Amino acid sequence: MPLSDHEQRMLEQIESALYAEDPKFASSVRGVGLHAPTTRRRVQGTGLFVIGLGMLVSGVAFKATMIGSFPILSVFGFVVMFAGVVFAITGPRLPGQRDRSGGARKGRAKGGGSTFTSRMEDRFRRRFNE
């Protein structure tokens, strides 16, 4: 469901206030976006998945890999399988590409007069001091 014009403006105001308050955090949250994984990355992720699958099966098959009744090797195998899948389906983050619209956002947010945090603190005090 698309946002209405009012909701879109509110979201932009919140976003610009967040960027003005803490630009480093805002750019880390904004991220670079998703990139397609390379073939090499997919092969490496598949290899991790296969190794994790082997660990999972051998942890169940061999009782020597258990601590008490807890199959520790199987749990580690599952974690390795999960990491392999995540590694295979996500693309690498390219270090040179940061949020390019940061300069425009800084200038827009400063025109408001008060900071986002002080406005939120005032709103909180008005609401709970009644």
Each residue's pLDDT tens digit, 74-103: 999 999 999 999 989 887 765 554 444 444
Q: Could you tell me if 28 and 48 lie in one domain?
A: no
20 and 44 in a single domain? The answer is: no
Buried b (16+ CB within 10 A) or exposed e, 13-41: eebbbbbbeeeeebbeebebeeeebeeeb
What pLDDT, on a 0 to 100 scale, did the predictor assign at position 127? 79
Average model confidence (pLDDT) across the chain: 77
Per-residue pLDDT tens digits for 101-110 = 444 444 444 4
Whether 10 and 22 share a structural domain: yes
Provide the residue range defining the domain that includes 130. Answer: 1-32+100-130
Shortest CA distance to 97 belongs to which of 29, 27, 17?
27
pTM, full prediction: 0.47
Q: Are residues 83 and 41 in the same domain?
A: yes
Residues 83 and 88: their CA atoms lie apart, in Å, by 8
Residue 52 backbone dihedrals phi, psi, to 5 degrees: -65, -40
* 127 vs 103, higher pLDDT: 127
